[in-house]
Structure 1
Amino acid sequence: MTREIHGVAAAPGVALGPVRWLASAPATSASDTPGSDADAEIARAESAFDTVAARYSAQALEAKGPAADILFMTAALAADPALLDQVRAGIRAGGPTAHSVTQAVAHFADQLTALGGMMAERASDLRDVGQRVVAELLGVDPPGIPDSATPFVLAAQDLAPADTATLDPEIVLGLLTVAGGPTSHTAILAKALGIPAVVAAPGAVEITENTEIVLDGTTGIVQLEPDAARRADVLAARAHRTSVV
């Protein structure tokens, strides 16, 4: 019998394909070695924030509609003075530079989460800023969409504007997130791109890489390893939509 997990319907449509997970973010630790010169480390952190903010802004200039607005707002998060002050304080207290970023982001993300509603959903955008700044400081690639020549359903703990705004609907057939909500930026951008999406599906953590699923962005139901009849129904519906268009 086909297993199902349930989430929140975020963008209508049905997707059939193998699951690929978003690349994980670099981790930091309080036991990391701190820099020997606090002023130099603060300057390095400020430069990393500036670089990340500039990348968001560049993406926003190339985007259209809600994607551009969301990316500009995220660029503003990366330039928030209070966030930078918290990072500076962490470094001056002897904390490792990258971990000071992680801690400062966690502090403000927790505050946003406590506010609830749409403010809580901005916490994921802020965490993405932190992950990209940390990646810049560590000299590694930031979390991102898997490179694939064949279409797939993208799964993630949550998706950030920088990821969602650049999705190719020909390759990314659907979106599935463990966290998020129907008013998250993932949901807004998925609707704009016409990509089916299911969010707030904690059971998604059970899905292994390359498991075939049917994701229904209208009902919020995700079927794992669908049987032949269900696959045929989805493919027939897809062929019908294509012929109508």
Structure 2
Amino acid sequence: MKRQEIQGIGVSEGIRIAKAYIYKPAQDGGADDSPVSQLDTPAAVDAELHKLRKAKADCAEQLEELTQKATKAVGEEQAGILAGQRKLLDDPAFYPKMEARVREHLEPAPRAVAEIVGQVASLLEDMNNDYMKERAADIRDIGSRLLACLSPGHTHGLTGITGQVILVADDLAPSDTVQLDPALVVGFITRTGGATSHTAILARSLGIAAVVGAGDGVEGIKDGDTLVL
């Protein structure tokens, strides 16, 4: 049996042994699979704006429900992470820019979301400040949720876990982390992330062992591999 050692940043204490569960979100905060390249009529623009506003309302409702769930699970202070995301939807420097792209650039709603999310997240990631860099994860989390709300049939969250596992992911959004059941997800390891990320804070609050920033080594892990975290 081949043994591989992967190193990352330990952000939540614990020693866990379980099978790997590879997690790939249904939607990515930078994705855009819209078949329409540009809107060609005022009616089409109005229709996209209506879709975008409904997605925002649905997203806000989901975040409010998650905040209530998080308050019960980890307390009001940590639940404030999700409440902050909800407030960000009303930030004049964020969501209104998506509507502006639909109106002024004639872009379909998914493309407008992906463009603004990408711009804001990249701006934060380019800052010479680790805290601000890691806030980009919150921006991409909101973008992923908005895109899921715009795409019927897509879900945002974790399903299919029936036994104890160690989650393996490129990254884990705060709104996904707070939904983890510590009885099933006993630990997780991510390719990216840092010690001060909201995901790391929530993992500690939930008592889930976690290693982040493990790099490309996680790509060699397969579903069902036995992991010692």
Alpha-carbon distance, 1:123 to partner: 0.7
Corresponding residue of 2:89: 78
Alpha-carbon distance, 1:70 to partner: 0.9
Corresponding residue of 2:116: 104
| Contact map agreement 2:124 2:136 (CA 8 A) in 1 | yes
Secondary structure at the aligned position of 1:210 is classed as coil
Instruction: Please give the residue correspondences for 1:37-76 in structure 2 after superposition, counting only pairs within 5 Å.
Output: 37-64=44-71, 65=75, 66-76=77-87
Unaligned segments of structure 2, at least 5 residues: none
Aligned equivalent of 1:140, options 144, 149, 153: 153
- Read off the aligned partner of 2:32 and give its amino acid letter: T
- Read off the aligned partner of 1:46 and give its amino acid letter: R
- Read off the aligned partner of 1:125 and give its amino acid letter: D
2: CA distance, partners of 1:33 / 1:81: 26
Aligned equivalent of 2:36, options 29, 32, 35: 32
Alpha-carbon distance, 1:141 to partner: 2.6
Aligned equivalent of 1:170, options 178, 183, 188: 183
| Contact map agreement 1:18 1:152 (CA 8 A) in 2 | yes
2: CA distance, partners of 1:33 / 1:136: 20
Aligned equivalent of 1:161, options 144, 156, 174: 174
Greater mean alpha carbon deviation, residues 140-149 or residues 193-202:
140-149
1: CA distance, partners of 2:180 / 2:120: 28
Secondary structure at the aligned position of 1:28 is classed as coil
Aligned equivalent of 1:187, options 190, 194, 200: 200
2: CA distance, partners of 1:144 / 1:34: 30
| Contact map agreement 2:34 2:110 (CA 8 A) in 1 | no
Corresponding residue of 1:22: 23
- Read off the aligned partner of 2:79 and give its amino acid letter: A
2: CA distance, partners of 1:85 / 1:59: 23
Larger Rg: 1
Alpha-carbon distance, 1:77 to partner: 2.1
Corresponding residue of 1:11: 12
1: CA distance, partners of 2:61 / 2:14: 34
| Contact map agreement 1:48 1:136 (CA 8 A) in 2 | yes
Over residues 169-216 of structure 1, what are the superposed CA-to-partner deviations in whole Å (9 max), with x where a residue is unaligned?
11001011111100111110111111100000112122122211111x
| Contact map agreement 1:19 1:153 (CA 8 A) in 2 | yes
2: CA distance, partners of 1:209 / 1:149: 14
Alpha-carbon distance, 1:166 to partner: 1.6
2: CA distance, partners of 1:76 / 1:6: 36
2: CA distance, partners of 1:81 / 1:31: 28
Is 1:121 matched with 2:122?
A: no
Secondary structure at the aligned position of 1:123 is classed as helix
Over residues 5-31 of structure 1, what are the superposed CA-to-partner deviations in whole Å (9 max), with x where a residue is unaligned?
111111011111111122323341475
Please provide the CA RMSD for this pair: 1.8
Identity %: 34
